[in-house]
């Protein structure tokens, strides 16, 4: 009996390890992956149509970069998702695009930068990120009080706008004991204004910073809300304005956004502490305890690992050597180009998922005041980002 129990326990532990690995790779158990196929095929079809559409429009108008296929994928996804009834069986695959494929694409983007460039960009981005977070949190919560809206709603919007969009909102909600309606309002605002910023800021950045790639990347990485939206904006900029030399705007924007994402592991626990103290002063129960480790975005480690791999390979080529002791310079360059291209197409599918997954009708019933708070938060963070980039961005040389 004891041996049987131990054997069964061992099988459960092994099964748990397999389930963890399957979930890490596929986002669900391997047996459940077929349910992802409809949504993946839909998003892939949107990208294919968008590439053909962008090429056709650019060819007719004689301007290669006028329409980016990334922008076309987002807009096509928005039209399909909001004008056509998309059956529910597409939802798991679309959600997979927004999470797993997006993260995989970002991880692979790390191969385009040396770890030294990534560290340099990230280090210069920290003060800009701090300015945006502090400004967004302080002014948005103050504006919320002026409109006499629930402070929790304003704080959720401030956190989502200044750190990492819906992820920060969902993480902060238990800490603030926010109600479901407040969370839904905040996420809807972040989604709408984030998409608008994603589509408009590439062109604004080109005007504001006169084509300076690093400054444009710093701005988009700190002024736009979600990781997916930042990635989309960077790719739109690169494709529209023909940026090919490394680092591109997308490279810089993604590094800065990953730095922003790291701050969720610091800001949310601080909010939990402050909120607990406030409740204690009112003689009420303390807030929810938060695990800092669980907030840490682990895919950032994958991005860093790819940048380290790139740096190690490049170092091996010096003085006529081999990359990682195996590839010559030509093969290494081709391999890096293939990985970078794969990352771009994975991110394109993720961008189609952004459009397909955005439900603009969720803004109905929000009311005017929450809409004003969302608009105010987006403008405040955008202005703070632009000013900080003007002051500090010119010192960043790669």
Task: State the pLDDT at residue 4.
Answer: 42
Enter the tokens of residue 62. 């004689």
Q: In the chain, how many domains are there? A: 1
C-beta of residue 220 within 8 angstroms of C-beta of residue 249: yes
C-beta of residue 268 within 8 angstroms of C-beta of residue 290: yes
C-beta of residue 116 within 8 angstroms of C-beta of residue 255: no
From first to last of its 398 residues, the chain has per-residue pLDDT tens of 444 444 344 444 444 555 555 565 555 566 667 888 999 999 999 999 999 988 888 888 776 666 788 888 888 988 898 888 888 889 889 888 888 888 888 888 888 888 888 888 888 889 999 999 899 888 888 888 888 877 778 788 888 888 877 778 877 777 777 777 778 778 878 888 888 999 999 999 999 999 899 999 999 999 998 888 899 999 999 989 988 888 899 999 999 999 888 888 777 777 767 666 665 665 555 555 555 566 677 788 888 999 999 999 888 888 778 888 888 888 888 998 899 889 988 988 988 888 888 776 665 655 677 788 888 989 999 999 999 999 888 777 66
57 domain residue, yes or no? no
Task: State the pLDDT at residue 121.
Answer: 86
Task: State the pLDDT at residue 1.
Answer: 42
23 domain residue, yes or no? no
391 domain residue, yes or no? yes
Enter the tokens of residue 123. 């280090």
Q: Considering just the CA atoms, what is the radius of gyration of the chain in Å?
A: 22
Q: What's the angle, vertex CA 297, arms to CA 295 and CA 301, rounded to 5?
A: 140
What crossing angle do the helices spanning 180-208 and 227-241 adopt, rounded to 10°? 20
34 domain residue, yes or no? no
Sort residue 245 into left (φ over 0), alpha (ψ -120 to 50) or beta.
beta
Enter the tokens of residue 298. 């682990």
6 domain residue, yes or no? no
Distance CA 242, CA 246 (A): 12
- Partner residues linked to 323 by β-bridges: 327
Enter the tokens of residue 246. 């490394």
Instruction: State pTM to two decimals.
Output: 0.80
Q: What's the angle, vertex CA 303, arms to CA 297 and CA 304, rounded to 5?
A: 100
147 domain residue, yes or no? yes
- For 114, phi and psi rounded to 5 degrees? -75, 155
Task: State the pLDDT at residue 287.
Answer: 52
Task: State the pLDDT at residue 204.
Answer: 95
33 domain residue, yes or no? no
Task: State the pLDDT at residue 9.
Answer: 44
| First-to-last C-alpha distance (Å) of the chain | 66
Q: Choose among 156, 163, 105: nearest CA to 132.
A: 163
Q: Choose among 331, 349, 367: nearest CA to 108.
A: 349
351 domain residue, yes or no? no
- The residue segments making up the domain with residue 292 are 115-346+361-395
């Amino acid at each position: 009996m004891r041996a049987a129990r131990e054997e069964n326990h061992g099988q459960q532990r092994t099964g748990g390890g397999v389930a963890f690995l399957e979930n890490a790779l596929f986002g669900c158990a391997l047996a459940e992956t077929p349910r992802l196929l409809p949504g993946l095929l839909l998003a892939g079809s949107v990208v294919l149509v968008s590439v053909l559409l962008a090429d056709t429009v650019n060819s007719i108008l004689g301007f290669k970069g006028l329409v980016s296929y990334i922008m076309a994928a987002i807009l096509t996804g928005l039209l399909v998702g909001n004008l056509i009834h998309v059956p529910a069986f597409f939802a798991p695959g679309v959600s997979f695009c927004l999470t797993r494929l997006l993260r995989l694409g970002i991880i692979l983007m790390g191969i385009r930068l040396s770890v030294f460039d990534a560290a340099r960009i990230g280090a210069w981005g920290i003060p800009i990120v701090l300015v945006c977070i502090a400004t967004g949190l302080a002014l948005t919560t103050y504006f919320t009080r002026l409109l006499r809206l629930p402070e929790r709603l304003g704080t959720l919007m401030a956190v989502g706008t200044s750190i990492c969009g819906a992820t920060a909102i969902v993480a902060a909600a238990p800490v603030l004991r926010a109600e479901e309606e407040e969370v839904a309002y905040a996420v809807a605002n972040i989604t709408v204004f984030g998409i608008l910023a994603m589509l408009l800021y590439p062109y604004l950045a080109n005007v504001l910073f006169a084509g300076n790639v690093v400054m444009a990347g710093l701005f988009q990485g700190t002024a736009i809300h979600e990781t997916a939206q930042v990635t989309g904006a960077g790719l739109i900029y690169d494709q529209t304005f023909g940026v090919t030399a490394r680092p591109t705007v997308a490279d810089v924007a993604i590094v800065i956004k990953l730095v922003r994402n790291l701050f969720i592991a610091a800001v949310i626990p601080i909010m939990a502490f402050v909120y607990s103290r406030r409740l204690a002063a009112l003689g009420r129960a303390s807030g929810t305890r938060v695990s800092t480790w669980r907030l840490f975005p682990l895919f950032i480690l994958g991005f860093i690992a790819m940048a380290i791999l790139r740096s190690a390979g490049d170092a091996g080529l010096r003085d006529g050597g081999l990359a990682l002791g195996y590839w010559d310079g030509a093969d290494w360059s081709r391999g890096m180009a293939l990985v970078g291209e794969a990352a771009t197409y994975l991110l394109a599918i993720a961008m189609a998922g952004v459009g397909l997954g955005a439900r603009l009708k969720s803004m109905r019933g929000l009311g005017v005041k929450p809409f004003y708070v969302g608009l105010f938060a987006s403008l405040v963070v955008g202005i703070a980002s632009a000013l900080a980039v003007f002051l500090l961005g010119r010192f960043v040389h790669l």
